[in-house]
Amino acid sequence: MGNDIIHPYKNVMTYTKHYKYNQLKDYLKKKHALSKLEISTVKKHIDTCDTCWDTWNRVRWDQAKYKDGFQDLKNYLGDKFELYHDSSWALADEWYDKKPNSEIEVSNFYKTTKEYVYNSLIFFESEDRKDFTPNYELFKKKYGIKTIVDYGCGIGNDGLSMLKAGFDVYFVDFDCPSTDFLKWRLKEKNFDNKKRVFDVESNDFPIVDMVWTIDALEHMTNPFDIFRAISDKTRLFVYFIDDDDQAGGRHPFHIPFDHSDFRKKLINLGFSGEDHEYLSVWVRPSSKV
């Protein structure tokens, strides 16, 4: 493939003024308190400007540098560890090169890509990803949650944080480079006292109080597959989808998601929606599980 081929999502623009390192650092710190318009203004520029994307990549890495997760990845990869690796572009390039289309091709992409190990780690540890820990008290006190499945867990960012907060957590995803890293992390942190990581394709994870699915449904060719997993497994279902594409980077792998049919199906299964500022929280009080 020639180098001059322009990818469909590489709409590289020419800007006369670029963001400075400290401006993007400040943006990352304040991002979650900004309006959608303010976020999309910055995002539009950095996603289409190679210069500012490089700065942004560096800013995120530098913010992640002092976190445990960063050290985990460094120790796990050893000599192969690449500081400042731009996994966001690499992931989009890999997707574009492979052009997965069928359900099997999409599954195979997730089963084999190594880029998500970096990508999920930097997104989470740089705090570009929203912090969901303030909800843990709500889950404990209001809903009496003790056991959790982190569905579509990837490298286990949330599930590990939940384990540290005292929840009993199981992890579900493809058997892939991300879950290989997760298994290593669980062992390192002495959470390997029992089988915690389950292959999403086997659907044999334990019954739990809550199934937690963050930034995962929009990656599934059929997000309705989740119902096979939750219909008899849980009484609380919590999910989050990056609807407004606020995460930064290119996401050719995000599949449009039909919310109204999804909600109807949840209601048919006996769930009812709870009020929450940004999470989709569904309870099933009559559930025997």
CB of 13 to Zn ion, least distance (A): 8
24 binds Zn ion per the rule CB under 5 A: no
CB of 36 to Zn ion, least distance (A): 21
CB of 81 to Zn ion, least distance (A): 28
145 binds Zn ion per the rule CB under 5 A: no
18 binds Zn ion per the rule CB under 5 A: yes
3-state secondary structure labels for all residues of the chain: CCCCCCCCCCCCCCCCCCCCHHHHHHHHHHHHHCCHHHHHHHHHHHHHCHHHHHHHHHHHHHHHCCCHHHHHHHHHHHHHCCCCCCHHHHHHHHHHHHCCCCHHHHHHHHHHCCHHHHHHHHHHHCCCCCCCHHHHHHHHHCCCCCEEEEECCCCCHHHHHHHHCCCEEEEEECCCHHHHHHHHHHHHCCCCCCCCEEECCCCCCCCCCEEEEECCHHHCCCHHHHHHHHCCCCCEEEEECCCCCCCCCCCCCCCCCCHHHHHHHHHHCCCEEECCCCCEEEECCCCCC
CB of 130 to Zn ion, least distance (A): 25
Q: Of 31 and 284, which CB lies nearer to Zn ion in the complex structure?
A: 31
Segment lying near Zn ion (by CB under 5 A), choices 27-35, 52-60, 90-98, 220-228: 52-60
Contact residue for Zn ion among 24, 39, 52, 153 (CB under 5 A): 52
CB of 18 to Zn ion, least distance (A): 4
CB of 246 to Zn ion, least distance (A): 19
Q: How many residues bind Zn ion (CB under 5 A)?
A: 5
Contact residue for Zn ion among 15, 21, 84, 224 (CB under 5 A): 15
Segment lying near Zn ion (by CB under 5 A), choices 9-17, 78-86, 132-140, 181-189: 9-17
163 binds Zn ion per the rule CB under 5 A: no
Q: Which residues bind Zn ion (CB under 5 A)?
A: 15, 18, 49, 51-52
